[in-house]
A = this chain, B = another copy of it.
Amino acid sequence: MNSKIIIAIDAMGGENAPSKNIEGVALFLKKNKNKYDFFFNLFGDEMSIKSELDKHNISNNFYKIFPSSTVVSDEETPLTAIKNSKDSSMWNSINSQIVSNSNITLSAGNTGVLFVVSRMLLKTIESVSKPALAGLWPNEKNMNVVLDLGANVECDDKNLIDFSEMGAALYKALFPEDTPKVALLNIGSEEIKGTETLKKSYSKLKEISKYGDFEFNGFIEGSKITHGESNVIVTDGFTGNIALKTAEGTAKFITDSLKKSLTSTFLAKISVLFSFFALKRFKEKLDPRKFNGAIFLGLKGPVVKSHGSTDSIGFYYSIDLCYRIIKGDLMNKIKSNLSHINNESD
């Protein structure tokens, strides 16, 4: 059993839990029919989890239920979370990386609480100054890893270097065939642009890139995030959060406008019949559920946050992300990459 990838799932976190969570598990099983290298530790209300599992005829070779009596509410604040969330499905799913055999934790619950409790229980890796929140972002060639998406409002150059090495490790774990290409998000691509922190990080990354963990592409502007020449986009949590949400908002604004246009006239409505499959492919390619799952990097165990409002398909994608993270040996890759920073600062 130890050779299996064991994913701890907070079955009670997010909208429509545990129904969508377990349906996500069922989808994962369906898509990985001939694989037996994974196992789920499921945390939450035993009765309702069991009833959902039975709906999908999921064999008990694939899971173990760990009954947890409480659920972290969306209203819980990070300040009181440590006191109030003990023994909740979220808490126990994180803690199972320590007290049980879980390799990774997935929750669609309260983000702030998940972050605080994960940090407390799993602890930050010694040499890491601040853990970060990384996400996936589509680009023309494949996908970017982008971090920090909001864990740290203010960051110094040490933080940005850590993020670069950890982001490169995540990219390599997820896309083993590909080379991580790190770029720092900035307001121009010239070396003299931006804040002092960015300029310092620039010269340090140029130096550290000699270890071969990643190629360093220098500064990148917001307009080029989707180009795919760089695939690990590094920034502070404030800027990353603004960029991510602005991109999401813009995408929604445009696709909504398109929808309105394509149903505005009779002729346009007919056209949709002809372009049905093309539009479907278009929609599928940019389906945000495919990018569901933000990864806390810098803790001694990996934790993935699913969007609370996603459906079973989105939840399936975050389970798949967990699977690929462990399969890609993320934690050892992070360790190896971070050792190069330490060498450098010796």
Which residue numbers of A lie inside 8 Å of B, CB to CB? 138-140, 150, 153-154, 185, 187, 194-195, 221-227, 235, 237-239, 241-255, 257-258, 261-262, 264-265, 267-268, 270-275, 277-279, 281-282, 285-286
Contact = CB atoms under 8 A, between A and B. Distances in A.
Contacts of A238: 187, 194-195, 239
Contacts of A242: 185, 187, 221-222, 235, 239, 242-243
Contacts of A257: 282, 285-286
Nearest to A259: B282
28 contacts: A187-B237, A187-B238, A187-B241, A187-B245, A221-B242, A221-B245, A222-B241, A222-B244, A222-B245, A223-B246, A226-B252, A227-B249, A238-B239, A239-B239, A242-B242, A242-B243, A243-B243, A247-B250, A250-B254, A257-B285, A258-B282, A262-B278, A267-B275, A270-B274, A271-B271, A271-B272, A271-B274, A271-B278
A250 B226 CA distance: 7
Q: Is the interface of A mostly helix, strand, loop or mixed?
A: helix
Given A140-B253, A243-B243, A261-B279, 10 more contacts: A187-B237, A187-B245, A222-B242, A222-B247, A223-B246, A246-B250, A254-B255, A258-B282, A262-B278, A267-B277
